[in-house]
Amino acid sequence: MKYVIVQGDGMGDRPDPAHGGTTPLQAAHTPHLDRLAGLGEFGLIHTIPQGYPPGSDVGNLSLFGYDPARYYTGRSPLEAAAMGVKLGPADISFRMNMVTIAPDGAMDDYSAGHIDSADAAALVETISESLADETFQFYPGVSYRHLLVWRKGLEAMTTTPPHDITGQAAAPHLPSGPGADQLLRIMEASRTLFADHPINRKRSAAGEKPVSQVWLWGQGRAPQMDPFTKLYGLKGACISAVDLVRGVAVNAGFRIVHVPGATGFLDTDYAAKGRYALDSLATDDLIFVHVEAPDEAGHMGNREEKIRAIESIDREIIGPLLEGLPALGEYKLMVASDHATPVQLRTHTPDPVPYVMVSNRRMRGDRAPVKYCEAEAARTGIALVHGHEAIRHLLDFC
């Protein structure tokens, strides 16, 4: 039996009165997802337990089959694992975004215009040359997503994800509490270091957003996760361009499948992800395919881009999987999201999101398609209340 999980990050949304009360999933042309919704078990999944932040860290832990109440320690430690950064038991890891602050002090862009990795790495190097020591180390990641490690540091301070405050004054959301003075020192130093940096001069000349500073958040210690093979008896692989998701996979003992053209943004190579997913099943029992694009479009407040991303997942990943999987024998497929990212809010919410499960043993061609969307999923009355139990449910599904 082969297992496939396709995770369309942030696909869930809320009805938009400006577009007839529809969501992007309702508006998108998704014949393959609609067919699956008609053929399989279709309903809502609660990936964010009550009391937990509605982030991709919590949501993806759930979808990988790990109860956040037991395994969640913070976002950045998962990214550290994907980057190969070792954390001691007393070390604290922080996500370090490259951000653009508007002249009026508002958070203009949590990604500094989705800065490319090479430009960002040069800025991280500048910070490291100036500020790194035995206590604080800086590591470049992908695009705007980077890492600070505070050896034997503090973690009880309050920090805010920059994508939660787009368009809002940044100052009220700066780190606060024990140890925050060290974070503020680094953030303020980055403003000075970046002010006349060659990278920013180049970006400004090209009409691109400058990087105002780094923004620190998402702190935590390294989690202790049981191997996926021990919990579920399956050998897993993961396709993702995002360190967070790869970090969950690494901690779970998954093999990471590197896909050329996978960017973690709207321009990702969807078709390549589908091809590599099928290829991986020659050696792996389960493949987890993550696509970041719908989430990025939600954060941008761009409904049309989100619709296009959803349609690309349907056309270039779900369709080819449905065509290629039968040649591999028996299979089960689940499609879900880690959380909702409503376009109107431009941030995550803990709303339950649609999911569908199918097994080749149960698929019937005479059932009519059902629109894969929030409203139709709710109408079924089916709900997985504990998202981390979805893996076990998929294994038992027949």
Predicted pLDDT at 152: 97
Q: Express each pLDDT in 202-238 by its tens digit.
A: 999 999 999 999 999 999 999 999 999 999 999 999 9
The helix (run of H) or strand (run of E) holding residue 123 is helix 117-131
Two structure tokens written together for 147: 């890492």
Residue showing tokens 């994907």: 82
Distance of CA 206 to the CA centre of its chain: 29
- Listed in order, the ranges of the chain carrying CATH 3.40.720.10 are 2-72+226-396
- What is residue 361's predicted lDDT score, i.e. its pLDDT? 86
> CA 356 → CA 45, 120, 276, 319, distances in Å?
9, 38, 22, 15
pLDDT at 365: 65
pLDDT value for 342:
98
Token pair listed for 256: 């990471």
Provide the b/e sequence for 243-263 (b: ≥16 CB within 10 Å).
bbbbbbbbbbebeebebeebb
Question: Angle of helix 293-300 relative to helix 303-313, nearest 10 degrees?
Answer: 170
Specify the pTM: 0.89
pLDDT tens per residue, range 40-67: 999 999 999 999 999 999 999 999 999 9
CB of 287 closer than 8 Å to CB of 238: yes
What local confidence, expressed as pLDDT, does residue 364 receive?
A: 63
CA angle 43, 46, 52 (to 5 degrees): 170
- How far apart are the C-alpha atoms of 381 and 29, rounded to whole Å? 24
CATH superfamily of the 2-72+226-396 domain: Alkaline Phosphatase, subunit A (3.40.720.10)
Regions in the chain scoring below 70 on pLDDT:
364-366
pLDDT of residue 63: 98
Tokens coding 372: 């894969």
DSSP symbol at 265: S
Q: What's the pLDDT at 136? A: 98
Contacts of the segment 56-59: beta carbons below 8 A, 24+ positions apart? 56/9, 56/10, 56/242, 56/244, 56/245, 56/295, 56/338, 56/339, 56/348, 57/218, 57/244, 57/248, 58/339, 59/337, 59/338, 59/339, 59/387
Angle at 279 between CA 275 and CA 283, to 5 degrees: 160
